[in-house]
Structures are given as C-alpha cells and as structure tokens.
Amino acid sequence: MSKKIRLMQGNEACVEGAIAAGMKFYAGYPITPSTEIAELSAEKLPKIGGKFIQMEDEIAGMAAAIGASLTGLKSMTATSGPGFSLKQENIGYAAITEIPVVIVDVQRAGPSTGQPTSPSQGDMMQAKWGTHGDHPVIALCPSSVKETFDLTIRSFNLAEKYRMPVLLMMDEVIGHMREKVEIPDASDIEIIDRKRPTCSKEEYLPYKPEANLVPLMADFGAGYRYHVTGLVHDETGFPSNSTEIANDLVRRLVDKIEVNKEDIISWEEENTEDADIIIFAYGCVARAAKTAIKLLREKGIKVGLFRPITIWPFPEERLIELSKKTKMIIAPEMNLGQMVLEVERLCNKHTKIERLNKVNGEIIYPEEIIAKIEGVL
Amino acid sequence: MDKHEIRLSGSGGQGLLLAGIILAEAAIIDGKNAVQTQSYGPEARGGASKSEVLISEEVIDFPKVRDCDVLLSLTQKSYEQYNHGIKDTGILILDSSVVVSSDVKNKVISVPIVETATKVLGKPMVTNIVAMGAVVEITKIVSYEALEAAVLKRVPKGTEELNRKALSLGYEIAKQSLI
C-alpha cells in the first residue's frame, strides 16, 4: 500500500483537507457525530504551529473561530444539529463582517438532541435560512470520504475568496464511514488565500469592494486599524443609519454570490443523457441512488442521477434544463422534504416530481428508491 | 463479481468497530476497495453494536450491507438484533455462547472466541483480534499477511506480540471448529 493510499474516516478526511487548505485555528465544542473532527484538530494543529481551543459551548466556538480568522488565520469549527442551531447568530455576524470561516455540520437526526448517532439531512434549509436577515450562503455537500477531503479544501478557498462563512454539510454516514482515499500531492492542490491590502495603512478602507464585490482584508492587529461591527456599516467599517448605505451593503453581500455563481456552483451527473427518470440526491443518499440506478438499468429502466455538490447556491439552470427532457424527478431525502422544495419550485412546470422521505435515523436503501420508482411507473 | 458484505456484531466495548477497520484496511492492503461503517447506541459500553465492511474489486457505491455474506455475532443480543438480510449462501460465525434456533438454514460455525480471549489469553481486550483471525480463517476474504499488517498498524505499541498470538489462536480455533 503506497503511503498516499489510506483507509480514512470522513471526519478525518475533513481535518486532513482543512490542514491541506492551510487551517491554523480550530475552536469548537465536541458533539457526536462530528467529535473526531475536534479530536484530530486538537492532535494535529499544535504540531504545525496552529491552535486548538475547546470552548465552553458552540456559540463561543463560532465566535473564537471568527476572531482568529480576523487576525489572519484560516479557521474552522465543526458541530452537529444542536450546535449548528447555536452557531447561527454568529454565522450571521461572519456574513455581515465578511470574515472567512468554515463551519462543518455533520448532520444527525433531530430536532433538538434527537438521535445523536443516527444520520439525517435535516439541516439543509437551516443552512440557507438559519441566521436572520438576507445574507449570502455557500453550502457544500460531500458524498464520499475523498470528496470530503476535496470539499473541505474548497470550503476554505471559497471562504477566503469571497470573505464569508462557508458551510460543509456532511451527514453521520459520510462522517463516520471509512473508505479508500488517495491523498493528492500538496503541489496538485489549489489553495486560495484572502487578498490583503497593499495600500498605506492610512488609506485603507476595510469595506470598499473590489471589482468582484469583495473588499480587501487586512489582518487585524497588523497596523491597519479598523472597526468591525455586526451593525450596518459604511466603507470605513463604522455603523451607519443611512438607508442608501444599508441598501448597498445588503445587496452587495448577496450579490457577491449572485455575480460569481458560475465560479461557485458545481454538481455531478451520472447517466442523465438518456434518462427517463432522474434521481435528485445528495450526501450519503446519492450513494444509494447510484446503486439503485445500476440495478434499475439492468432491468431496462433508464434512470440517471443529478447530485448537487453546492447545495447553496443551488444549481438551478442545469436542473431546469434536465427537467425539460425527463419524465420524472424523484427526490429521496433523509428529511421530510427540504431540497425537494427547490426542485419543485424550479421544475414542476416541466416534469413530474416525486418525494421519498425517511426520518427514522436510518440511511435510505437502494431498494427503497427502486420500490418507489417501480411504484409510480 | 467478487464482492463480500460482512457484518460484525457484539456488545459495545468488545472492539468490533476496530475489527471492522482492521478488516477494511487489510482489504486495501490486498489492493481491493473497502468501505467500513458502523452503528451503535449512545452508551459507551453494553448495548448491541455493529460494524459493517464491504470489500470489492469494483467501486463501492452504497456503503451498507444489503445482502450479508458473513455475520459475526459475539453475543446473543447482537445476534438477535442483526440476524437479518443474510444471503442463502451466507455464513453465520457465532461465539460458542450464542444459541441458534433449529430452523436456521444458513451454515452456522460456532467458535469459542470470547472464551479463548478471556481464559486462554487472559485478555478480554483482544476478543476482537481473535474474532478477526477466526473470520479470516473461515472466509479467506483477506490474505493472512494483509490481516497481520493491518492489525499491527492499528493496535497500541507494546501489544504487538499479544495481538499476533490472538490472531494465531483465532486461526487455530476456527480450524478446529471447521473439522
């Protein structure tokens, strides 16, 4: 076995990816099924000159990660449902203050403490609407251990590039499963760092956007003195009551994603060219879908897969295109119907949409998808 | 298609999660694909826990056992909880303490795994390694060399000799159970 091929757990791949991306700070409060991310960060960060802090709760973990990032360190925190709820207020703070940070949610069955060791996809809409007010959201969703490695790196890159919180939406199955991973050479990994100002310290305007709508970010404490607040602020960072400034700021924050959508959105398709039926699935459920597709195609039923990799922003255009040439889209989810709301909103003019939902704390099996498809055919 | 679906079950604390990791690691050393998943309750000890391993030459999509080729159960409770979805040709490898009803159609191999670890080696902590020796002796799903390498990679330093011994006893008691 070569050194680079390893049996690795999803949560471990997340930490390896974070370190490959340049993570130097982790703060959080351990919670099943994300605990290994905290454990491994605690073990690895001190060895590479980084810092790990276990905070008193998830709110403080989120706050510390934001603070560290403000000083220039790439920062991450990880949690599961109950902690994801607690982090929401500070996720909004990171959005308006434009501080890059990666938040991992290894989803477990909810609501509340729910079923700590059981998988779920119940936080997909919370990722979009969990914190109040209009704000930009990038949320990625891996469906394998290797992809967890890759998407953790991508989460850091997007956070740095667009100066915002990025959510990595895992689930218990992907977080805890182990599979073969080939780790790429460091030289083959694209790393993006935030753009820092080169102007004089006196001239620096911390919230004056560049052409891509993202302002340059100075490391706090490096001599570029500026004000950071969750209140609506002008280009200097100081609070403002101006309706014009409020309008411009909120629109710019959301437009950062809108105008750069093409750079951000990604998805996977399998067997969609000739598909009569498309399975819309993400995370661990996409793995069930792939097995179901193989078995259904053996029976002569033409089924394909559309798997959003960026859940937010949602890959709207491609899904609409596909819906125009397919007889049916089926959306299996480990919740009572969340991402299917987007599918319905975008595609119900063009095709029939069927739901398949499971909330008993167990993964959806290929046989359940097959039975649903054969039942509606 | 050369695909094996293995379910390892027992009581929480018997080390079956690590056993699953070791088996998957051995398969990868053999150059195959492997996926390991687990399911356990909130308690740290006791309860019924299972670890599932899929081994294949091909890409593995769905990561959980659907048609079980091999079920290992070290306790009655775990046997009763996880004795489902077994193929007609599937094998049940059970600790000698597990009682099976007479209408079971699968091949049953009863092996004194827990007793060997506890009484012969005097170390209940190597129950999982004895069990892996027995499972591999009976099923040959991974090579002996890969299994030993995987065991030595994952056990604490200083326990290598004990674990080697546990493996060979596992092979031994399985051979005797097959006679």
User: For residue A359, what pLDDT band results from cuts at 50, 70 and 90?
Assistant: very high
The pLDDT, as a whole number, for residue B48 is: 85
Residue A351 has pLDDT above 90, yes or no: yes
pLDDT tens digits for range A74-92: 999 999 999 999 999 999 9
The pLDDT, as a whole number, for residue B42 is: 65
The burial class, CB within 10 Å (0-12 / 13-18 / 19+), for A297 is: middle
Which tokens is A97 given? 């203050």
Residues of chain B with C-beta less than 8 angstroms from the C-beta of A7:
21, 24-25, 28, 34, 36
CB B64 within 8 A of CB B45: no
Count of residues making up chain B = 179
pLDDT tens digits for range B89-145: 999 999 999 999 888 999 999 999 999 999 999 999 999 999 999 999 999 999 999
pLDDT tens digits for range A3-29: 689 999 999 999 999 999 999 999 999
Q: Indicate yes or no: CB of A179 within 8 angstroms of CB of B33.
A: yes
The pLDDT, as a whole number, for residue B39 is: 82
Cα–Cα dist B140/B137, whole Å: 6
Q: Does A291 touch chain B (CB under 8 A)?
A: yes
Q: Indicate yes or no: CB of B62 within 8 angstroms of CB of A294.
A: no
Q: Please name every residue paired with A307 in a beta bridge, in sequence order, or none if there are none.
A: A268
Rounded average pLDDT over A296-304 = 98
> Can you tell me which residue has the tokens 């394998």?
A144
The pLDDT, as a whole number, for residue A136 is: 97
Return residues 152-181 of A near B (CB < 8 Å): 173, 176-180
ipTM of the complex: 0.92
Cα–Cα dist A124/A84, whole Å: 11
The pLDDT, as a whole number, for residue A13 is: 98
Tell me the shortest Cα–Cα distance from B12 to chain A, in angstroms: 14
Tell me the shortest Cα–Cα distance from B54 to chain A, in angstroms: 10
User: For residue B179, what pLDDT band results from cuts at 50, 70 and 90?
Assistant: confident
Q: What is the mean pLDDT of chain A?
A: 97
Domains of chain A: 5-188 (3.40.50.970), 269-376 (3.40.50.920)
Residue A1 has pLDDT above 70, yes or no: no
Global model pTM greater than 0.90: yes
Q: Does A305 touch chain B (CB under 8 A)?
A: no
Handedness of CA A107, A112, A114, A117 (dihedral sign): positive
Residue A274 has pLDDT above 70, yes or no: yes
User: For residue B43, what pLDDT band results from cuts at 50, 70 and 90?
Assistant: low
pLDDT tens digits for range A224-233: 999 999 999 9
The pLDDT, as a whole number, for residue A346 is: 98
Residue A2 has pLDDT above 60, yes or no: no
Q: Is A72 left (phi over 0), alpha (psi -120 to 50) or beta?
A: left
Tell me the shortest Cα–Cα distance from A40 to chain B, in angstroms: 16
Residues of chain B with C-beta less than 8 angstroms from the C-beta of A291:
61-62
Residues of chain A with C-beta less than 8 angstroms from the C-beta of B41:
117
Q: Which of A154-158, A257-261, B45-49 has the lowest mean pLDDT?
A: B45-49
Q: Search chain A and give the residue with CA nearest B59.
A: A180
> Can you tell me which residue has the tokens 């170390």?
B123
Q: Indicate yes or no: CB of B62 within 8 angstroms of CB of A365.
A: yes
Give the CATH superfamily of B3-178. Pyruvate-ferredoxin oxidoreductase, PFOR, domain III (3.40.920.10)
A286: nearest Cα among A347, A339, A222: A339
Residue B46 has pLDDT above 90, yes or no: no
Task: Please name the residue ranges forming H helices in A31-80.
Answer: 35-44, 58-70
Residue A239 has pLDDT above 70, yes or no: yes
CB A30 within 8 A of CB A39: yes
CB A155 within 8 A of CB A102: yes
CA B8 from centre of chain? 5
Amino acid at A251: R
Cα–Cα dist A137/A256, whole Å: 10
Q: Search chain B and give the residue with CA nearest A144.
A: B61
pLDDT tens digits for range A182-200: 999 999 999 999 999 999 9
Q: Indicate yes or no: CB of A117 within 8 angstroms of CB of B64.
A: no
Q: Indicate yes or no: CB of A177 within 8 angstroms of CB of B36.
A: yes
Counting one residue from chain A and one from chain B, the pairs whose CB atoms sit within 8 A come to: 56
Q: Search chain B and give the residue with CA nearest A116.
A: B42
- In three-state secondary structure terms, A295 is helix
User: For residue B164, what pLDDT band results from cuts at 50, 70 and 90?
Assistant: very high
Q: Does A290 touch chain B (CB under 8 A)?
A: yes
Task: Please name the residue ranges forming H helices in A183-306.
Answer: 243-258, 261-264, 284-298
The pLDDT, as a whole number, for residue B44 is: 61
A288: nearest Cα among A124, A117, A171: A171
Rounded average pLDDT over A160-176 = 98
Calculated CA dihedral for residues A286, A289, A294, A295, nearest 10 degrees: 150
- Do the bridges between strand B68-73 and strand B86-95 make them parallel or antiparallel, or are there none, so unpaired? parallel
Tell me the shortest Cα–Cα distance from A215 to chain B, in angstroms: 42
User: For residue A352, what pLDDT band results from cuts at 50, 70 and 90?
Assistant: very high
